[in-house]
Amino acid sequence: MFEFANKPGNDTTISTNAAAKAFTENGTVQPGTWLGSNGTNWFYCENWENYQVPDKTTDVIIPATATNKPVVKADDVNAAKYKSTATFNNITIENGASLTMGDNTEIEMHGNWNNAGTFEMGNSTITFAGTGTQVINGNDTAKAETFYNVNLANNFNTQESNNLIAKGKLSVQPGYKVTAADGRYISAGNFENQGDGSNFIVEKDGSFVIDNAAASVSGQITVQRETKNADDNQYNFLSMPVKGVNIKTATEAKRVLYYDEKTDFFKDSDGAYVVGKAYAVKDKAKENLYGFKGAVVHGNQTYKLEKGGEGYNLLGNPYAAKFSLENFFVVNNNLDTTFYLWDSAVNKEVQQYGGAYNGNSYATYNVDNSTGTRATGGVAQSNAQAETANDKVPNGILKVGQGFIAKATTEGNATFTNEMMVREGGVAFFGNTARKQDRDRYWLSLTAPTKMNNQIAVVYYENGKKGFGQDDSEDISGASDLLFSVVEGKKVIINGRPNFKGDDVVQLGTANFMAGEYSIRIDKAEGIFAGKQDIFLKDKMTGKVANLSHGKYTFTAEEGTTTDRFEIVYSDNLLKANDIAKEDLQVYEDNLTFVAKSSGERISSVKLYDASGKLVFSGEFNSHEARIPAASLAKGLYIITVKAGEQTLTKKILKK
């Protein structure tokens, strides 16, 4: 038996007949490659190239071709000498290779982690002990590694290093800064921060997830929240993402309001911390970046819902992580399926039309069909520009500190759980790309003469219903310019429907603040509507049919609300059927009277519009003939719409 002397690295006693690849052609030592020539013991030097157990300067390579796969065990030979700790600089686990950690073992890593094979973590602890940026799996977020315990004795930023997952416990040593960066996350089963809280930052679009219902958590963190407003006179719905912090004090807000469910009014508040409660916060500036410092909120939390009036409650994400509305609804079946989110960034243009103009800017999300619509606001160019202030479609994932309106259907509590925390899940409202859903659906928008714009969605899916139900979301804004679908007399902005059939008809209505030129177009289409299925808009007042899949439809309208002017159809057969039905309708002038005569169904109602779209007559009938006095009408072209049976037919008539 003998030992190599005067060589770098760590050594152990080996036999003289051991096979080894000890030297390169120029005679220099190349440590760090695992051979596994004498078992699986990490701490046995015969298993390493050049008989050297790695140290903090060693770049370790574990190849798939090794005789045995390495195992770090606390009771192996020589383990005590190394304190049961596998130490190295960088590590590469090749495809087909593996590294297995035994109970109560540790890794001390000074460089980067690259795993293309298998890592069996056991209940081990890895310490990030480098002095520079330490990267996990090339900073590829699709390859975030799952460790058990993680001990951070180095600065760590998920933007530079990768998302961080500690299934067991995440510990942060004093003097080190840790950042869950925008679009990235840190996840831990238990948590201890030995810093002062300012050293652990969850950025405005980051996420810090506690995924253990019985977690042990100690120390403080700082959670950022950004607000952007149309001007410095707006409110945002905000909740506190850390424990025990007064939101009015923390934001230095001009004013803080709470929502009174019984009266449907906002009232002044001192901003006291209540878990799960959100406030309307009047920001101190047009753009703000708040840093809320406090203890971590985790585990089950409850908030008492109010149901003395309509049942609307202003709730908020209580965690330092993104938040799933769909997971929230699963736990809280005493809530309606529709959630509303206030968008303060689209109000500036609304204000210029004065107090008569109602443009409440609520974005909407329906958890039953996983579809959202943006808030009423400025003209949006396309749904692909969802990061702009005027085209933000909620996707069911909320940012930290985000408040939302939920409607209680019965008395009781709203319950928050760790399962509602989201690592990624796409990105959060506001300001990011929405996650994809398997739905046949499309979004339409109405642009008004004021340049205001609102959006609706029509969604076909397995659980959809024809009538009004959980798959539908009513408009609560009462906006003065509004496009909506009509379902059982209700104004609906998210319309869930059964699986798509080509003979379906969707009734649309509009609210128009002023007379002028309006337009309807498709913002986005998915599923069948993104390809082979066109979307046709029928204007029953003018008789025109527009293929919205090929472009927008522009029309004139008078001030007021119509609920039966437009229809969405999909089948040429429906269009042809209407043409056939029109043959049963005669319209003519007879002695200063317009006459509508039906040879088919009885006429139930008649409306008459002038060439500008202004309604000049409306009446109900129950006969095959309807007569409309026309003596007082000016000469010119008029449009008459006649409802007979299930058909609404349109024809033009000229008064001479």
Please say whether the beta carbons of 50 and 7 come within 8 A: yes
Q: How far apart are CA 151 and CA 171, in angstroms?
A: 5
Q: How far apart are CA 100 and CA 77, in angstroms?
A: 16
Alpha carbons within 13 angstroms on the beta-carbon side of residue 313 total: 24
Tell me which residue has tokens 């607000």. Answer: 227
pLDDT of residue 291: 97
Q: What is the pLDDT of residues 308-355, one digit of tens each?
A: 999 999 999 999 999 999 999 999 999 999 999 988 765 443 332 333
Q: How far apart are CA 615 and CA 617, in angstroms?
A: 6
As a residue count, the chain comes to 656
Q: Indicate the DSSP class of residue 227.
A: E
The structure's pTM equals: 0.82
Q: How far apart are CA 285 and CA 338, in angstroms?
A: 31
**SS3 (DSSP) at 208:** strand
Q: Report residue 651 as tokens.
A: 């024809």
CA-to-CA separations, 135 to 114, 183, 199, 231, 559, in angstroms, rounded: 8, 17, 20, 41, 61
How sure is the predictor about 360, in pLDDT bands with cuts at 50, 70 and 90? Answer: low
Q: Are strands 149-152 and 125-128 parallel, antiparallel or unpaired?
A: parallel
Tell me which residue has tokens 């015969």. Answer: 46
How large is the average pLDDT for residues 83-95?
98
Q: How far apart are CA 384 and CA 433, in angstroms?
A: 8
**SS3 (DSSP) at 133:** coil
Q: Report residue 602 as tokens.
A: 């009885």
Q: How far apart are CA 331 and CA 233, in angstroms?
A: 36
CA-to-CA separations, 441 to 362, 425, 498, 534, 609, in angstroms, rounded: 21, 20, 11, 12, 33
Q: Residue 534 is which amino acid?
A: D
Please say whether the beta carbons of 350 and 410 come within 8 A: no
Segments making up each domain of the chain, as ranges: 45-225, 227-383+391-420, 440-577, 585-655
What string of DSSP letters covers 159-193? HHH--EEEEEEEEE-TT--EEE-TT-EEEEEEEEE
How large is the average pLDDT for residues 503-515?
93
CB atoms under 10 Å from CB of 236, counted, come to 26
CB atoms under 10 Å from CB of 358, counted, come to 16
CA–CA–CA angle 322, 323, 325 (5° rounding): 150
- The backbone torsions φ and ψ at residue 574, rounded to the nearest 5 degrees and listed phi first, read -65, -40
Chain-centroid distance of CA 184 in Å reads 14
Tell me which residue has tokens 């798959």. Answer: 471
Of 176-190, 195-209, 276-290, the one with minimum mean pLDDT is 276-290
How sure is the predictor about 76, in pLDDT bands with cuts at 50, 70 and 90? Answer: very high
CA–CA–CA angle 400, 470, 419 (5° rounding): 35
- The backbone torsions φ and ψ at residue 168, rounded to the nearest 5 degrees and listed phi first, read -90, -95
pLDDT of residue 284: 82
Q: Does residue 1 or residue 649 have the better pLDDT? A: 649
How large is the average pLDDT for residues 559-576?
81
Q: Are strands 536-539 and 505-512 parallel, antiparallel or unpaired?
A: unpaired
Q: Residue 52 is which amino acid?
A: Q
pLDDT of residue 447: 93
pLDDT of residue 401: 96
Q: What percent of the chain has pLDDT over 70?
A: 87
CA neighbor of 41 nearest in space, from 77, 65, 95, 86: 77
Q: What percent of the chain has pLDDT over 90?
A: 67
Tell me which residue has tokens 């009277």. Answer: 593
What string of DSSP letters covers 242-310? EET--HHHHHT-SEEEEEETTTTEEEE------TTBEEEEE-SSSEEEEEEEEEEP-S-EEEEEP-SSS
**SS3 (DSSP) at 564:** strand
Which of the four CATH numbers 2.60.120.10, 3.40.50.261, 2.60.40.3080, 3.20.20.140 does domain 585-655 have? Answer: 2.60.40.3080
CA–CA–CA angle 451, 457, 463 (5° rounding): 170
Of 46-60, 315-329, 350-364, 595-609, the one with minimum mean pLDDT is 350-364
Q: Report residue 393 as tokens.
A: 């479609």
Q: How far apart are CA 395 and CA 433, in angstroms?
A: 8
pLDDT of residue 13: 46
Is the pLDDT reported for residue 431 higher than 50?
A: no
Q: Report residue 88 as tokens.
A: 């190295």
Is the pLDDT reported for residue 252 higher than 80?
A: yes
Please say whether the beta carbons of 606 and 598 come within 8 A: no
Q: What is the pLDDT of residues 185-220, one digit of tens each?
A: 999 999 999 999 999 999 999 999 999 989 999 999
Helix (H) or strand (E) holding 351: helix 348-351
CB atoms under 10 Å from CB of 233, counted, come to 14
How sure is the predictor about 383, in pLDDT bands with cuts at 50, 70 and 90? Answer: very low
Q: Report residue 652 as tokens.
A: 């033009």
pLDDT of residue 583: 61
CB atoms under 10 Å from CB of 433, counted, come to 13
